[in-house]
Structure formats: structure tokens, C-alpha cells
Amino acid sequence: MPPIKIAVIGAGMAGLKAASTLHKVGMDITVFEKSRGLGGRLASRRTEFGHFNHGAQYITARHPGFNTFLQQATDHNAAQEWQPNLHRGTPPDATPSDAPTHAGNLALDPWYQGVPQMNKLIRPLVEPFEIQKQHRITSIEPLTPQTFMLHDDLDGEFGPFDGVIVTAPAPQTAELLRPLSSRFDPIGDVVIAPCWSVMAAFKKPLPTAFDAMLYPSPEISWAARSTQNKDIFHRRTPDHWVLHASPNWSRDHLEEDKDRVIEKLLSALRTASGIKLPDLQTVQAHRWRYARTEIPLGRSHLNGMNGRVIAAGDWCLGARVEAAWRSGQSAAHAMIETLIG
């Protein structure tokens, strides 16, 4: 009997968790990723002055399965606990009834980062299956009720596959799947906020006692050193910082020029920190059009086409990396139930 062939679109946490789970039960997996690297928003940018974790900054675990995954990643030197000195502001939409996520300058839950960069966190999920990088899948074509062909933006054709799992951001997943079945229409109700990210390397260390700032200003939701260093008296140079603009500010400035975004967010950092910023070694900006889920789908995945096409991603369950892992796992189990029983 020939192996069951599955295509997974997206090589972030959700896609790789789904692919790894299916590979372990003997399915023939091909992962398609539009970018040059893996990890999705577990992103790190390499520059001549070092790396910047410019996507997700840290992760936490509440689900027992994801906690086990983090412990395994730590044992394999792909993750480590992160205990930054925090400066905590107030979220712009906070209410008096909001439960605090931090006490003083300490996080209530353990925080983890990938080692040596955030994108290495997915290392335990990369099995010996095929990964096609720099392939943007633009359509899924049903050949029969049981098989599908994929087409990319360079007129490439791939397949046939017995099943497809799509783990792209919700708007891109909807574009692929809504033409196939009305069962995927609820994806249109998901709301994902954008985020401008600024990566700045200062020639001298910022003279602060903290390593991270949560909601320091209306413009910035997060600012932190991009590498872990517990010695506050001997900071590395250049001093790498990543700033994340708040969702509302990012929406208001979504199409703004990168240089203007950098200027405005560095000015906001200077005001929020109350210090004169050192000279810059280098600075860059990156726009995440789909960064943080604000209104999730409310279920772990969606399926259609007799259960052979499945949508998954963090946007199904929430904004956390754990949500992506759980969704990918759930999508894989649904595919196994459909094709193997």
C-alpha cells in the first residue's frame, strides 16, 4: 500500500507540529513555506552586527503537552528560561478588573526563549520530511474527492496529495480555502492585529536597570534587549533592542515609510525610558501584517472536503505560541482520524 501523502502549508509552529505528528505515524509529508527560513513569527533576523528576535519575544506554557514540549526543547538546548528585569506599564485597553500577568518586575509564569535565537525553538519538530522553501501556494485544486494538487506563484504544480493542512495567517488561509467549501467561511470572523517591529543596535548599552518594557507608552507595547544577559554591569556591545509598536499604532501607521516608523518609535522609546539613547550601530524595521490574534476562531481547527483539507494556526485558539502548537496537533489528529481511523 503506498504511503498517505499530506501537504502542509506553512512552516511555523502549527505547521511543523502537524507535520511532525503525521510523519511519526508513517505519512509522507511535504511542507511548503513561502519564506527562506522556518519558524514563522518565531523569527530572527541576522545582521552583520548580530541577531534580532523581531517576532515573538518569549513563550509560556499552560497546556501540559506544550509544557512537555518546552522541557524537551530545553533538554535539547533549543530553549531556555528567560528572566528579564521588567518595567511594566499599563495596556491602553486595560480595566481595573484585568488580572495582572506580572508581579513587580517578575513574570508570574516562566518565560522561555529559543536558543540561540527564537527560530531554533522549532528544531525538535523538524523531522526528515521534505520542506519546500520559498514556495507561495496560491491555490488548491481538487482532482478527485480524495486527492488535491497545489499550485504556487511561479506556476509550479505539486501533488497529488491525499490531504492538505493550511497553517498560514487567517486572511491568507481564507483566500486559499473559502473557494473550496463554505465550511471555511468562519475564518472571515478572525481578527488579527498588525505590528511594526524595530530592530536597533546601540553602540553603547542603554543605561537602564531593566531588560524589557511592557506597554511603556501608547506607541510601544514591548521593548526589550534581544539577547539574554543577566550581568547589568557588563552589557554586550552593540546593545540589541527590539521594539514592537502597539496594535492601534501599527494600524494607524501600517503603510508608513520604514524610516518614519523607526524615527517615531525610537522617539517614543526615548520618552518612555527617560534616557538619552546612545548612537546607533544599525537600525531596521519590519512590518508584520498579521501579528497578534485579537478575536480567535474559538475552536482548534476547521475541516472541509470530507475532512481531507484542514485549516489550523494560532489564530484558531488565541495569540500565544502555545495556541499554534495545540492547533497543529489537533489538525494532525483530525487528519489521522479521517485517513486512518
pTM score above 0.95: no
Please give the pLDDT value at position 226.
79
Q: Are residues 103 and 197 in the same domain?
A: yes
The residues that bridge with 255 in the sheet, in sequence order, are none
Please give the pLDDT value at position 156.
95
Q: How many CB atoms lie within 10 A of CB 44?
A: 18
Please give the pLDDT value at position 104.
46
Please give the pLDDT value at position 97.
40
Please give the pLDDT value at position 91.
74
- Looking at the structure of the chain, the number of domains it has is 2
Q: Are residues 213 and 287 in the same domain?
A: yes
- Given 257, 277, 295, the domain boundary residue is 295
Q: Are residues 223 and 105 in the same domain?
A: yes
Please give the pLDDT value at position 293.
97
pLDDT in tens, 166-183: 999 999 999 999 999 999
Alpha-carbon gap, residue 101 to 8, rounded angstroms: 34
Q: Are residues 195 and 233 in the same domain?
A: yes
28 CB-near residues (< 8 Å, 6+ apart):
3, 4, 5, 6, 129
State CA 227 to chain mean position distance: 18
Q: CA gyration radius for the chain?
A: 21
Q: Are residues 110 and 208 in the same domain?
A: yes
pLDDT in tens, 260-289: 999 999 999 999 988 899 999 999 999 999
Please give the pLDDT value at position 94.
54
Alpha-carbon gap, residue 24 to 217, rounded angstroms: 46
Q: Are residues 178 and 321 in the same domain?
A: yes
CA angle, residues 72, 17, 156, in degrees to nearest 5: 140
- Domain at 29, CATH number: 3.50.50.60
Please give the pLDDT value at position 285.
97
Q: Are residues 254 and 181 in the same domain?
A: no
152 CB-near residues (< 8 Å, 6+ apart):
32, 135, 136, 137, 138, 158
Please give the pLDDT value at position 6.
98
Give one DSSP letter per residue of 99-129, joined into a string.
PPSEETTEESS-EEEESSSGGGGGGGG--SS
Q: What is the number of helices (H) and of strands (E) in the chain?
A: 7, 21
Please give the pLDDT value at position 50.
84
- Domain at 59, CATH number: 3.90.660.10
Q: Are residues 198 and 91 in the same domain?
A: yes
In this prediction, the residues of the chain whose per-residue pLDDT falls under 70 are: 92-108, 227-235
Please give the pLDDT value at position 185.
97
Q: Are residues 77 and 203 in the same domain?
A: yes
Q: Are residues 108 and 156 in the same domain?
A: no
pLDDT in tens, 219-238: 999 999 876 555 544 567 89
Q: Are residues 248 and 152 in the same domain?
A: no
Q: Are residues 220 and 97 in the same domain?
A: yes
Q: How many CB atoms lie within 10 A of CB 190?
A: 21
Domain span at 278: 45-121+191-295
